[in-house]
Amino acid sequence: MNYFELFGLPVQFALDSQALAGTYRQLQMQFHPDRFASRPERERLLAVQRAAQINDAFTTLKQPLNRAEYLLSLHGIDIRAEQQTLKDPLFLMQQMEWREQLETIPEADDLFGAIMAFERELGLVSAELFNELERQLDSSCWQEAADTVRKLKFMTKLHAELERLEDAQQEL
């Protein structure tokens, strides 16, 4: 049973997050290990395994990027642990520009203004990529979707670096 089936959801990128959360709570109540405390050891072990599977499924489906990677894995494309690089020269150039921009932020006169502007830019590009990803997944364009996931993974790392920079500046 795949994660979508576990939660009674259609196998697609767009999902009803309230339905996901509601079903998660119901399944957690149903399979919570405490409910099996007085049962035989085998039943307790199965409940623990089922609860772990429910938690993994919820965590995966709740996060859009994880959900996209999981959808791709259901179609034979497993990129969760890969180190493959993109072959999109325009995006690679943009990556270099963003890295340079990130390096210059600490020298900006208005440090927090520069951080916020860069954060907005990354947010807009990420939103466009997520829209593109949804169209690709809905159209069964698996390889294109895999490349978009790779781009979004880079964007996520870049955003995390920006947050670390912001946190470091706030500590000064």
pTM: 0.87
Q: What is the CATH number of the domain that holds 146?
A: 1.20.1280.20
Domain of residue 134, residue span: 89-171
CATH code of the domain containing 19:
1.10.287.110
Calpha distance 122→124 (Å, rounded): 6
Residue 12 included in any domain: yes
pLDDT of res. 113: 94
Q: Does 75 map to a domain?
A: no
Does residue 151 form part of some domain? yes
- Tell me the pLDDT band of 56, cut-offs 50, 70 and 90: very high
Residue 171 predicted with pLDDT over 80: no
Q: How confident is the model at residue 172 (pLDDT cuts 50, 70, 90)?
A: low
pLDDT at 91: 94
